[in-house]
A = this chain, B = another copy of it.
Amino acid sequence: MRGKLSVKQEKILTFMRQFLDENAYPPSIRDIQHGCGISSTSVVDYNLKALENMGLIRRDREVSRAIEVLGHRRNSNGIVSVPVVGQIAAGAPIDVPESGASVPDTSETIEVSERLLFGRDNVFALRVKGTSMIDALINDGDIVVFEPTNHADNGDMVAAWLKREGETTLKKYYLEGDRVRLQPMNTTMAPIYSSADNVQVQGRVLYVTRSMA
């Protein structure tokens, strides 16, 4: 039941997206029926239930045209929903989502204009814990958007994974010989030195947001 989409389900989904773009209101079951060349409304209902179980659409029962296609990007505004996949500080390890992996609906997201990401793909976000980057204008509670990368140039602000310590921290990255200096931007804190093979760069900072309300 929770496997791949059938041809018919894919067709229904595509039709609903197209219908929404053209009409500003969702299609009825019979619209879908005729638009996809399906012979019976019960078949549409059957497949819609399957799509609903897979979490791809949401329906208000007994209400006409009350189908909502989840994750449908409006073509008018290039907005990317970036998943906030965890926290970053001096301790809590995080998982970086793999390319193409689906993100559970339960996770928090932050919306960012596509144009601010300069074409980066598979970006993710972390909530900052602690004040170690206060001098880089990043405060406790800020949400930081990363592009996934394993490479960093000196001075880049990165999420760095310390393999032996099992920690991920937000620091400035400097490669000095065969060791790495992870520099906090807080004059009261000392840098972390580690061997280069113990440091795994997970992402580079693209964007910072802070709520002041």
Contacts and interface: CB of A to CB of B under 8 A. Distances in A.
Interface string A93-137: 000000000000000011111001110100000000000001001
Contacts of A25: 25-26, 60, 63, 65-68
A193 interface: no
Contacts of A112: 111
Interface string A27-47: 010000000000000000000
Contact of A206 (B116, B206, B213): B213
Interface residues of A, number: 42
A81 to B, nearest CB: 7
A205 B209 contact: no
A188 interface: no
Contacts of A74: 24, 74, 76
Interface string A73-98: 11011010100000000000000000
Given A116-B213, A207-B213, A211-B207, A77 B66 contact: no
6 contacts: A23-B66, A25-B67, A26-B65, A72-B76, A77-B81, A207-B209
Interface of A: 23-26, 28, 60, 63-68, 72-74, 76-77, 79, 81, 109-113, 116-118, 120, 134, 137-139, 157, 205-213
